[in-house]
Chains A and B, each alone.
Chain A
Amino acid sequence: MTEPGLNKTTFEAIVEYNPNALLVLGGDGNITYSNQKGETLFGYSKNELKGQPVQLLFPRHFDNQSQFRKMFFEGADTRRELTASKKGGTDFTVETGLTEMDAHDGAVILLSITDITDRVNREATIKKQLTELKVAGNYLEQLAYISAHDIKNPIITLDDLVNELLRSKDLKADDMQLLKMQQKVIAQMRKTNKGINDILKLRQGLLVKESADSGQMTLGAIIGNITDTLRADIENTNTSLKVNLNGLSDIQFPYLYLQSAFYNLITNAIKYRKPGRDPLITFDANRIDERTYRFVVTDNGLGFDMATNKGHLFGIFKRFHPKIEGTGLGLHIVKSIVDAYGGEIVVNSEVDKGTTFDIILKNPILAQ
């Protein structure tokens, strides 16, 4: 089988020093040979590997031979992306390729294994950056919207008012009308100012997102911060805030983004309370699985009509109670935060009964 110029020793060296791990498996699926890279990749010596079933290296995928064969020989392509385990149990991601061949002493399987941890990490980084880009794009869209609605609008009207004012002078309009117009000019100025403030708030929302990865805090501390900040409001409005963390008080979360979302929901619950009824707000935290958490915020406030508002509950400038001061940004920010972390938010509300926000999201910080 040797090519001209390449002797058997050279061929053996090509296998032994191949940059990919190469394993030879017997017909029974036990390892009969590993090259050097196989040793360094998995942390076992050649002797330790010899005679071991191949599932030792892929315990997350199969624990017996037939599963192994089924996995590889189903479909035309025998290349797979798998989680492998080093000696000691550390997982890493590999790409495997496999060939079955007839050797002179019976059928053997040649398994080639490449460590693709770096590639997988790079892909994860790109995915994360794409998500961030999407969020940033979303904010930009909102910014354009705010510019059009909250700043452009008052300026157009201001311009129109001033034109009318000047025209009225020519026409010697009565003083009451002039006074009324002057008052409206001032009111428009204030709206312009408020529009600028809203843009600053939106920018703040973006900063919250940017710093989401920078710091972590326990759930207990996050809720503590919010209740401290809102203490005066809670006392002034006679609000009962019942917090049930259900043993999750010590779990670490990226604090700034969660804090911002919960803060918005709890301040809304206080702000849109039902007159004549003491606000009762509950905050419940539950763990669904290792990474997934559920947070439910319930109030007994004004509520809103679900039928009328369906489909655009979280739209920018969506306001349910025009007579109560607000920017229509709060829920939009909550939704953007939940979206950014691939979570879901569901709202249920009934007029005069109250509102429930149900959030499910994955904690990017793995619990210790």
Chain B
Amino acid sequence: MSLRKVLLIDDDDAVNFLNRRKLKDFDPECEVIEAIDGQEALNYLAETDSCPDVILLDLNMPGLDGFGFLKKYEEMGKCCNESRVFVFIVTSSLREEDKVKAVTSGLVNGYFEKPLSENQIKIINRLFSN
């Protein structure tokens, strides 16, 4: 079993562009959705018929940031109740408190420092497929 659909949330479109390429390199069949902030991602999740397998989430973003997204995502309850949606933080934040806050939120399955490597995509896939 492999990743079918991934939602990328990062205010930097170059990061989304690169992560899309890496995911497509890993599996050309993978559907990749991009959002520039938490709100755009929530709008997508509200409309879509199929929840993504994986959400890759940046923390520092203008507008609705990573933690703001997690809070609303939980409140919305649509996809986060599905045990098969995995959320991974992909950030450049060096703040230990960010890591602790994210990991202890109960909504996050992993925490990676940017940039996302091929190896990390393999790890994400393995976590998801198990």
Residues of chain A lying within 8 A (CB to CB) of residue B62: 317-319, 322, 328
Bound Cα distance A154, B10 (Å): 13
Identify which of B14, B60, B68 contacts A184 (C-beta below 8 A). Answer: B14
Q: Assess whether A184 is in contact with B17, with CB atoms less than 8 Å apart.
A: yes
Residues of chain B lying within 8 A (CB to CB) of residue A322: 11, 36-37, 62-63
| B122 on the A face (CB < 8 A) | no
Contacts A184-B17, A187-B14, A322-B37; is A160 near B63 (CB within 8 Å)?
no
| A260 on the B face (CB < 8 A) | no
- Give the shortest distance, in Å, between B41 (CB) and chain A (any CB): 13
Q: Quick check: which of A123-131, A145-153, A333-341 contacts chain B, the rest being far away?
A: A145-153
| A157 on the B face (CB < 8 A) | yes
| A308 on the B face (CB < 8 A) | yes
| A161 on the B face (CB < 8 A) | yes
Residues of chain B lying within 8 A (CB to CB) of residue A184: 13-14, 17
Residues of chain B lying within 8 A (CB to CB) of residue A187: 14
Residue among A153, A154, A157 with most chain B CB within 10 A: A153
Q: Assess whether A319 is in contact with B94, with CB atoms less than 8 Å apart.
A: no
Q: Assess whether B15 is in contact with A157, with CB atoms less than 8 Å apart.
A: yes
| B21 on the A face (CB < 8 A) | yes
Chain B, residues 12-51, CB within 8 Å of chain A (1/0): the string is 1111011001000000000000001100000000000000
Identify which of A159, A308, A319 contacts B115 (C-beta below 8 A). Answer: A159
Residues of chain B lying within 8 A (CB to CB) of residue A164: 18, 21
Residues of chain B lying within 8 A (CB to CB) of residue A153: 12, 92, 114
Residue among B14, B37, B64, B114 with most chain A CB within 10 A: B14
Contacts A187-B14, A317-B62; is A149 near B92 (CB within 8 Å)?
yes
| B120 on the A face (CB < 8 A) | no
Residues of chain B lying within 8 A (CB to CB) of residue A149: 60, 92-93
How many A-B residue contacts, CB cutoff 8 Å?
47
| A35 on the B face (CB < 8 A) | no
Chain B binding site: helix, strand, loop or mixed by DSSP?
Answer: loop
Q: Assess whether A308 is in contact with B64, with CB atoms less than 8 Å apart.
A: yes
Q: Assess whether A161 is in contact with B14, with CB atoms less than 8 Å apart.
A: yes
| A13 on the B face (CB < 8 A) | no
- Give the shortest distance, in Å, between A193 (CB) and chain B (any CB): 15
Smallest Cβ-Cβ distance to A180: which chain B residue: B17
Contacts A152-B92, A164-B21; is A157 near B63 (CB within 8 Å)?
no
Bound Cα distance A57, B14 (Å): 74
Q: Assess whether A148 is in contact with B94, with CB atoms less than 8 Å apart.
A: yes
Residues of chain A lying within 8 A (CB to CB) of residue B115: 156-157, 159-160
Smallest Cβ-Cβ distance to A185: which chain B residue: B14
Bound Cα distance A157, B18 (Å): 8
Residues of chain B lying within 8 A (CB to CB) of residue A161: 14, 18
Q: Which of B83-130 contact A (CB under 8 A)?
A: 92-94, 114-115
Smallest Cβ-Cβ distance to A187: which chain B residue: B14
Bound Cα distance A148, B98 (Å): 13
Chain A, residues 167-196, CB within 8 Å of chain B (1/0): the string is 000000000000010001001100000000
- Give the shortest distance, in Å, between A195 (CB) and chain B (any CB): 12
**3 nearest CB pairs, A to B:** A319-B62, A160-B115, A322-B62
13 A–B pairs (Cβ distance < 8 Å), ordered by A? A149-B60, A156-B92, A157-B18, A161-B14, A164-B18, A187-B14, A188-B14, A318-B62, A319-B63, A320-B63, A322-B11, A322-B36, A322-B62
Q: A149-B93, A184-B17, A317-B62 are known contacts; what are 12 more A-B pairs with Cβ within 8 Å?
A: A148-B93, A153-B92, A157-B14, A157-B18, A184-B13, A184-B14, A308-B68, A319-B62, A319-B63, A320-B63, A322-B37, A322-B63
